[in-house]
Amino acid sequence: MSVSPLALLRWQFDLTWSLFEYHLERLDAEDFLWEPAAHCWSVRQGVDGAWVPDWADTEPDPVPVPTIGWLTWHVGWWWTVAMHHLRGVPAPDRTAVVWPGPGEPSVAWLRGLRTDWLGLLDQLGERDLDRTATFPWPDGTDHTVTHAIGWVNAELMKNVAEIGQLRLMRVARTDPAPPIRQ
């Protein structure tokens, strides 16, 4: 049986999203802002009430441990930009992608981005896969729409794993210690 490249990319995305749903269904609002380390990136409310992600134009060393809130903002940011690029429309500036807040607002936002992404994939045809992609690579590369969709799948999988691990760590820290087995 032969599978088209677009069908394979869609299957890979659906598999990754199913893993994400496992965690999205279990996230509590408190999970989003839990800081697992002293050196941490999060999202913080500004004086106007808007959520602002921690950011540095040059990646710090050591890299800060992100919160689930920061990771969900990050997913929303890069996914929004990727979709704009694939549609051929100007992408918003990083600061224009506003995190909606902890809990259900962020979960609903991410699910909405998924719906938008699936709509975009449904609009693409096999012939579109060989077009040059302008994101996330600098101008002048020879990466295609196929590469960009594969990158979205890989980036999402990485972020899903990070969010899942943070959620599991937070739950483990709040649960009573299990009995020691001898």
Rounded Cα gap, residues 167 and 159, in angstroms = 12
Could you tell me if residue 179 is inside a domain? no
pLDDT for 160: 97
Position 142 scores a pLDDT of 81
Q: Alpha-carbon distance 89 to 84, whole Å?
A: 5
Peptide bond between residue 102 and the one before it cis (omega within 30 degrees of 0): no
Residue 58 lies in a domain: no
| pLDDT given at position 1 | 76
Query: Is 30 domain-assigned?
Result: yes
pLDDT of residue 125: 86
Provide the domain limits for residue 92: 5-53+64-174
Confidence band of 11 (pLDDT split at 50, 70, 90)? very high
Choose between 11 and 177: higher pLDDT: 11
The closest alpha carbon to 78, from 153, 10, 145, 147, belongs to: 153
Task: Give dist(CA 76, CA 124) in Å, integer.
Answer: 21
Instruction: Tell me: pLDDT of 180 over 70.
Output: no
- Helix, coil or strand: residue 127: helix
Is 84 within the bounds of a domain?
Answer: yes
Count of domains observed in the chain: 1
The verdict on residue 59 lying in a domain is no
Residue 140 in domain: yes
- Whether 182 maps to a domain, the answer reads no
The rounded percent of the chain whose pLDDT value lies above 70 is 93
pTM above 0.85, yes or no: yes
Asked which of 49-63, 131-145, 161-175 is least confident by mean pLDDT, the reply is 131-145
Q: Which domain CATH number covers 126?
A: 1.20.120.450
Query: Worst-scoring range by mean pLDDT, 13-27, 72-86, 167-181?
Result: 167-181
Query: What is the distance between the alpha carbons of residues 72 and 41, in angstroms, rounded to a whole number?
Result: 12
Higher pLDDT residue, 96 or 136?
96
Examine residue 165 and state whether it is found in any structural domain, yes or no.
yes
Express each pLDDT in 62-109 by its tens digit.
999 999 999 999 999 999 999 999 999 999 999 999 999 999 999 999
